[in-house]
Structure 1
């Protein structure tokens, strides 16, 4: 297998891991482990491995305080996505999460100084039109978020776009320190959300160690493998190719959730989702031309 094919396969592995992650998270929830406790456990495991392999990574957080914004953004990304896919329609959640092209247009101007061009505004309009179609159901008078899952998905997608912009803005910082910031963010924000949620009565306390621990460790290994695969593939392929392959996550999530009965592929969802994905594809093509 050629180097490019191996790198593409690594990215597909990452897309698959995150695309079907809703399933083991729901299995863990059925065993009494809330997705916020599961997320914290997953990223604690990743932090331990990273600390053993790259012990110097901690110095970067002290030397580059701006990385703490990455801690916040990446942590909220995981909180929004992992919680949403366990309580909402998976197809709907993934589509709302992948509203990233719209958020990038709005965030890149103040944070990167990139003024929106006519094509970027067109992509913004396409993505927002798609969201309106997805959100407007016969039961709702207005196309607005209708559930906690909707709000979590939108918050996670916004944080995902912010994470990507921060990675561009902080690309001169050590790679290991950026990974530490992202793994640390997943841990800190998930623990914070779990603790706050317990106080509000929306998150159950973590159960005693039992049959769930084996599955939780397997999921942790899978997430770590997915992140390593992303690092390997993204370092060997150009950014536009990486972004295009990563859209496969939407396919993996949609197909798996429909097969297993956790997602609804209605005509409205297909039309709205197609517009959101079209906006993402146009963004990838625009980046490739530049």
Structure 2
């Protein structure tokens, strides 16, 4: 994985500087694109920031549809799989109509698959551990993003980077009462940790390599979610989620369709779309609004433990992400709707 990231970034660093954000948005109108994407691209930079914040708030309360589906009998990973299966055909049809696959670089597709893996792991974390712990542990993602940018993207280590990393890891240690051992790390906690890492790597690949359209990347992200969930269920068996039986599963279909189509499709599409236009650390910072949404909603609606360690840990991680976000980006990502193709690809 590190070799792929390194080769991609070295190629990008040696290439001509990407066009500005606003110009790249306008250039995207030259190709044939889905009407939804035309509307999104017309919003510009401020629109990307605003929609990312809105998506972040919805990611923060994603535990709600997961718990709803659990109440219908789809336990554990089954809930994420059901929503992914509902969203996958929609993204597939959008990608076909947009003719997006022909201009999608393999590195960007790999990044999207990893983001889908991250979404599946995050959904599993929300199902298997406290919402507050899942949300906060996931948000080591800015720390992973900092490490990726410094190790592979030509960014120099600085005092600010060290502070951001230190605050993030101190926040997690605080949540665990400074007793971070394998015995205290539940399956859901581990899923949240791996989810943040997968998200950071996936976002870095999508950010670093133009050559794919958001609808195609959203399709591959959903495909990654579905494949990862299916693999976990096959390997983990009942430990990953008990199959409720055919009759009960059918009763959950309407809710799965509703949450997949009305929740996963818009939130994931906006997240992937914005990930192409914002540096990984900046993207992760904007998504820290998810911590607020998750912590507040969890404290209000769930009887889960939330005390001083959880509050202090969440605050430290947010501070770490804030310190990271004010760091100057290496460059701006160029959107891929301009019809550009990767090396060796046809138009």
1:33 is paired with a residue whose SS is coil
Cα distance, 1:231 vs structure 2: 5.6
The correspondence of residues 72-221 of structure 1 with structure 2, limited to 5 A, is: 72-136=113-177, 142-144=179-181, 145-198=184-237, 201-205=239-243, 207-208=245-246, 209-221=249-261
Query: Who is 2:36 aligned against?
Result: none
Contact 1:72–1:189 at 8 Å: present in 2 too? no
Structure 1 residues not aligned, in runs of 5+: none
Q: How many residues align?
A: 282
SS of the residue 1:129 aligns to: helix
Q: Distance in 2 between matches of 1:60 and 1:195?
A: 33
- Alignment partner, residue 38 of structure 1: 79
Query: Cα–Cα, structure 1 residues 239 and 195, in superposed 2: closer, same or farther, change >3 Å?
Result: closer
Bigger shift: residues 267-276 or 240-249: 240-249
In structure 2, what is the equivalent of residue 223 of structure 1? 264
Tell me whether 1:18 sits opposite 2:59 in the alignment. Answer: yes
Instruction: Give me the whole-angstrom Cα distance separating, in 2, the residues matched to 1:11 and 1:105.
Output: 19
- Shifted more, 218-227 versus 238-247: the winner is 238-247
Q: Look up the SS of the partner of 1:286 in the other structure.
A: coil
Say if 1:58 and 1:41 are closer, same or farther in 2 by CA, change over 3 A: farther
TM-score by length of 2: 0.71
Go from structure 1 to structure 2 and tell me whether the alpha carbon gap of 1:8 and 1:116 turns closer, same or farther (over 3 Å shift). closer
Q: Alpha-carbon deviation of 1:75? A: 2.9
Measure the CA separation in 2 of the matches of 1:174 and 1:97: 26
Aligned partners of 1:235 and 1:274: how far apart in 2? 28
User: Which moves more between the two structures, 261-270 or 78-87?
Assistant: 261-270
State which drifts further: 167-176 or 271-280. 167-176
Give the C-alpha shift of residue 146 in structure 1: 2.5
Please give the secondary structure, in 2, of the residue aligned with 1:93: helix
Per-residue deviation at 1:45?
Answer: 2.7
Q: CA deviation at 1:9?
A: 4.8
- Displacement of 1:215 after TM fit? 1.4
Change (3 A) 1:235 1:112: closer
- Higher alpha-carbon Rg: 2
Shift of residue 184 of structure 1? 1.5
